[in-house]
Structure 1
């Protein structure tokens, strides 16, 4: 603790000793000094008081600093106001800075002293949506020497963009007498912040010179608009790249569903000796989670430990939990969760609950939620989304409805479209189609495409052609390029044997240029990803060995009672052709390849882009028993752990 007698060596008239006030770090220490200043009458010295206000502002004790300022009878110098205006402009109460600025103008004897506070108050106006006050300051700037200060005009540009006044920002930029690189970057980053990508691109291409800030901003802007190729073009032309550049381009590829490229860039960054920061680590862990292959994730985890990067900081812990969960290693995810017991944030709890959910561990998810309730952290909307998803995957309809009510009544959280989607899906999976439709009717927002696809799936299961057609039309209106909407309707018609209607749906898809997404399964072997489509391997030189072992597998399984579920082939084919079609589903090809290339006892991990069909599900259960292999499949919705003839989903998926 710093005592008042030690700290108060403040500078007073005639005293040249260096102040120790700057060493104070807590409000308790500041209060001691303040008390001593009052007792020794140092409170009457302007420089001492201004130093006290400055220290309070710097340490975030803005309200205490304001109370000191308000006790000064005639604060005629800007040194009392300047640190507070800057502090409040960056705080959660930015409009307080605007009011202090007005008070300062009223008190000052020399208005030239406001100059240093103008950029801060402009920032405050932007952050607090104070258009009228910002416009008044703008008018004042136009009439004074401040108009020739690029620091002020750049702050003006940022303020107008923050307020959504794009034309005014551009007007200031075009008219400003002194324009520097920061002016260009201010306008570009402002345009990108409000989603004006084309305007940002125009300015970027017109820039007389570019720096890391402008290039990094454009890479990030392009990435968020799905223009990853343009982002990559800028990256490749940059002669100088910093950590932000690498992190941004990695994130660009991950955001645009190119996880392998993101992972490759991360490795390249490390090879150049660039130490990654938390955002880079989180992006690459997200890429690995998308891929679903834990070997790469374990390498990153080891890298964190070897390089003493705190896995608890900046949500790295949540990213690790999410990565292990989505790579099928729920035990490792839980180990990470427990290892950060003293530093958990809400994101850590949410990641773990969601991890249990996608693995179908509904009771573990509920138990963890109850544990979270006993902590100081309150569950949020994402917590309940994970909990409702868990109830959905576990088929716990009553529990799901109860937690949906708890979320609203106990925690006052308004459900979002995703929460309603979970409840609708939970009801339709439980066979309560009418109740699901009632939920849709009573929702305060319009249902999205996922909700209508859930109803369409239920209609197919229960052969309800009327509701199915309505749901399909709504889904196709909302997402005309989503092939799954057309496929579900086509499958509904095929199940009923309405082949003319099936042909009509396919013709509509062709007319609209909608292509069906083929089922694809991926496995990771010896550092390489192998992908399989129905009947073939994309990157394997020969399919002959795979087809041979497939025949052997089908023969063995049939001896154990396996009968292909021909109802899963919704094509107008003969039974023999349907059987051949089923035998070549991508996940079966992947299992055959893995059996050829791994030793006995090693678990088989498969990632599939679509939902696993009923026939493949039965097939995998028997393979796990006959070949004594643990098979872990992550499909579009969840994980399936096949072992000794059983699946963790208990046939509810």
Structure 2
């Protein structure tokens, strides 16, 4: 067929435009393009612009590359034809092409009419590329023209400087903008929040002539992250319209500020209003439940996910569920979730399962999961080895821990971080090999952190190494002078050695420095309500008599079975009778007594302790599990203890 000379009339182009509107694939587009070449429709400005728009903006594979080749062959391309390609490349993985095409456009156009549509995309590309000089040149061009009065252009300049991290330059542009809209204010507020300057964001937010949902959501998120939860609540309550981002930001604010109960209540309110939660908010709520340690709400969310057929591989939902069940003491449920997502498991799922097994002291099972990873040729990462090393530490598997620490570098090219070295210090320390633990600290390529020295401190107390403990305490206190546990561990080392004068000195130093000891607290969930018990504190009058009577009854029955209170766990200098009385008021014993009274036989008693369980309470609960035929699950600061028939799952290694 002979090509037609001159551009075709619009009426003849209509069928081609209709074909372009229905086009779905690059194969179809190439056929249409071939037809346009044969009929000379490539010289019809609107038709070729629609072809370019499909290539550049539809997201079809290979479209951008095709657009880049087509634009070179177009006679007299206009600004819109360039715009579609520039915009497409700016949002792709090849933003540099946007800058190149913009330069070509300036050299091709007879006048600059219409370039304002392309400039925001080029500015975005400069921001993605960190192309500071090119961005400054473009800003200079804008200043010389009328374009600064275009809010789309001026807002793009602000965002570009924010992408560069040039917050002062962004603010200068913002202050000089002739026309500021809500997008301008939101960009600047978001920029301040990104660099953590909550005060300037707060000031700008209060100055806004008109706020929208975006600005309010940004401030709720910012206040939550910087610990100003009450201000986040004020904005949340003020908003008449809320979207899923609003609810997610407020729930996350509660989670970040250790207000889990309010986070769960808000999540339930969100669902009752018919707001469909996204993956981030569900993950955040599951994390909250994991921290609380009580599984009923977690099971309800799991049911919600299954009922609504939400894919557990999406957004790390599976990992969050595994983590939640593990931290709530339901390791079997965690493993069921893990098995249910056998197709599409991500590395987070494997890591959550390994870490969960480690937390339960199931070191052999954690190793089996890792071996399965290797068989399936799934490449582990640094989190995988943190879980493995923790499992070996809690299981007393020193040789295996040494092996995994070696292969993470030699086989998998993962450079150990300070957390991995800390695990090795803990591994050796728990096994009583303090010389090896100190050797790790001396030979690691970075300075030891407070966690490593606290691991030495804890091991020194367990194994009666006073001199090593004193040195470790000095190091730990130097790194974290306000961390009460450093002082408490040193005080306990002195107390176990009978050095009461030194105990008094440590406590005096704590008072002088304003360091307060964190009291032992045990929580138990009964009938949907969390009940908390503090060590040595008077009980709530509603159940004080019943709980104290139950403790007396339990102690009496256990003594008949051979129980003798371990008064060495009382780290104050008082008479023996007083020490026994003090032991009976440990928070774990109160929670156990409350559980025996209020939880039906056959139902496990779940207790969450904020500190490490002491040896006396450990022996006490073991006997309770046998004498009263109850399964008792305690999650302390370090791990899970599952007591049943007088035996603990930790095998006396914690």
Question: Where on the TM-score scale, by shorter chain, does this alignment land: which range?
Answer: over 0.9
Deviations 1:441-481 (A, max 9, x none): 23233222111111111222343334323322222232222
Partners of 1:69 and 1:80 within 8 A in 2? no
Q: CA deviation at 1:545?
A: 1.1
Cα distance in 2, alignment partners of residues 54 and 409 from structure 1 = 51
Aligned to 1:501: 502
Aligned to 1:101: 102
Query: Where does 1:428-577 land on structure 2 (aligned, <5 Å)?
Result: 428-536=429-537, 541-577=542-578
Partners of 2:641 and 2:648 within 8 A in 1? yes
Query: Where does 1:590-605 land on structure 2 (aligned, <5 Å)?
Result: 590-605=591-606
* TM-score of the superposed pair, with normalisation by structure 2: 0.92
Cα distance in 1, alignment partners of residues 369 and 104 from structure 2 = 52
Partners of 2:642 and 2:648 within 8 A in 1? yes
Q: CA deviation at 1:292?
A: 1.0
Go from structure 1 to structure 2 and tell me whether the alpha carbon gap of 1:119 and 1:400 turns closer, same or farther (over 3 Å shift).
Answer: same
Partners of 1:531 and 1:538 within 8 A in 2? no
Deviations 1:238-263 (A, max 9, x none): 23322221111111111111111101
2:375 is aligned with 1:374: yes
Go from structure 1 to structure 2 and tell me whether the alpha carbon gap of 1:428 and 1:490 turns closer, same or farther (over 3 Å shift).
Answer: same
Aligned to 2:118: 117
Aligned to 1:8: none
Partners of 2:293 and 2:329 within 8 A in 1? yes
Q: CA deviation at 1:109?
A: 3.9
Partners of 1:530 and 1:537 within 8 A in 2? no
Q: CA deviation at 1:440?
A: 1.9
Of 37, 42, 46, which aligns to 1:45?
42
Deviations 1:398-435 (A, max 9, x none): 21222222222222222222222112111211222222
Cα distance in 1, alignment partners of residues 532 and 104 from structure 2 = 68
Aligned to 1:65: 64
SS in 1 for 2:14: coil
Q: CA deviation at 1:200?
A: 0.5
SS in 1 for 2:211: coil
Q: CA deviation at 1:350?
A: 1.6
SS in 1 for 2:498: coil
Partners of 2:630 and 2:644 within 8 A in 1? yes
Q: CA deviation at 1:621?
A: 1.2
Aligned to 1:30: 26
2:238 is aligned with 1:237: yes
Cα distance in 2, alignment partners of residues 537 and 342 from structure 1 = 53
Q: CA deviation at 1:68?
A: 4.7
More off after superposition, 92-101 vs 349-358: 92-101
Query: Where does 1:171-250 land on structure 2 (aligned, <5 Å)?
Result: 171-250=172-251
Cα distance in 1, alignment partners of residues 158 and 439 from structure 2 = 50
Q: CA deviation at 1:377?
A: 4.0
Go from structure 1 to structure 2 and tell me whether the alpha carbon gap of 1:49 and 1:542 turns closer, same or farther (over 3 Å shift).
Answer: same
Q: CA deviation at 1:603?
A: 0.7
Deviations 1:535-589 (A, max 9, x none): 4476561311111111111122122222222221111112221121112211111
More off after superposition, 426-435 vs 36-45: 36-45
Partners of 1:494 and 1:502 within 8 A in 2? yes
More off after superposition, 429-438 vs 565-574: 429-438
Cα distance in 2, alignment partners of residues 417 and 90 from structure 1 = 38
Go from structure 1 to structure 2 and tell me whether the alpha carbon gap of 1:490 and 1:535 turns closer, same or farther (over 3 Å shift).
Answer: closer
Deviations 1:160-218 (A, max 9, x none): 12211111111011101001111111100111011111110111111122121111111
Cα distance in 2, alignment partners of residues 550 and 559 from structure 1 = 14
Partners of 1:98 and 1:124 within 8 A in 2? yes
Go from structure 1 to structure 2 and tell me whether the alpha carbon gap of 1:188 and 1:68 turns closer, same or farther (over 3 Å shift).
Answer: closer
SS in 2 for 1:111: coil
**Superposition RMSD in Å:** 2.4
Q: CA deviation at 1:33?
A: 3.6
Aligned to 2:276: 275
Partners of 1:12 and 1:45 within 8 A in 2? no
Go from structure 1 to structure 2 and tell me whether the alpha carbon gap of 1:141 and 1:539 turns closer, same or farther (over 3 Å shift).
Answer: farther
More off after superposition, 629-638 vs 335-344: 335-344
2:365 is aligned with 1:364: yes
Cα distance in 2, alignment partners of residues 67 and 384 from structure 1 = 45
Identify unmatched segments of 5+ residues in structure 2: 1-8
Aligned to 2:408: 407
More off after superposition, 437-446 vs 196-205: 437-446
Aligned to 1:255: 256
Go from structure 1 to structure 2 and tell me whether the alpha carbon gap of 1:479 and 1:96 turns closer, same or farther (over 3 Å shift).
Answer: farther
More off after superposition, 198-207 vs 467-476: 467-476
More off after superposition, 273-282 vs 384-393: 273-282
Query: Where does 1:289-308 land on structure 2 (aligned, <5 Å)?
Result: 289-308=290-309
Aligned to 1:55: 54
Cα distance in 2, alignment partners of residues 537 and 314 from structure 1 = 45
Q: CA deviation at 1:376?
A: 5.6
Aligned to 2:161: 160
Partners of 1:424 and 1:454 within 8 A in 2? yes
Go from structure 1 to structure 2 and tell me whether the alpha carbon gap of 1:178 and 1:485 turns closer, same or farther (over 3 Å shift).
Answer: same
Cα distance in 1, alignment partners of residues 60 and 176 from structure 2 = 39
Go from structure 1 to structure 2 and tell me whether the alpha carbon gap of 1:466 and 1:131 turns closer, same or farther (over 3 Å shift).
Answer: farther
Go from structure 1 to structure 2 and tell me whether the alpha carbon gap of 1:465 and 1:106 turns closer, same or farther (over 3 Å shift).
Answer: farther
Partners of 1:457 and 1:488 within 8 A in 2? yes
Aligned to 1:15: 13
Count of residue correspondences: 641
Partners of 1:34 and 1:52 within 8 A in 2? no
Partners of 2:26 and 2:60 within 8 A in 1? no
Q: CA deviation at 1:147?
A: 0.4
Aligned to 1:645: 646
Identify unmatched segments of 5+ residues in structure 1: 1-10
Cα distance in 2, alignment partners of residues 536 and 255 from structure 1 = 28
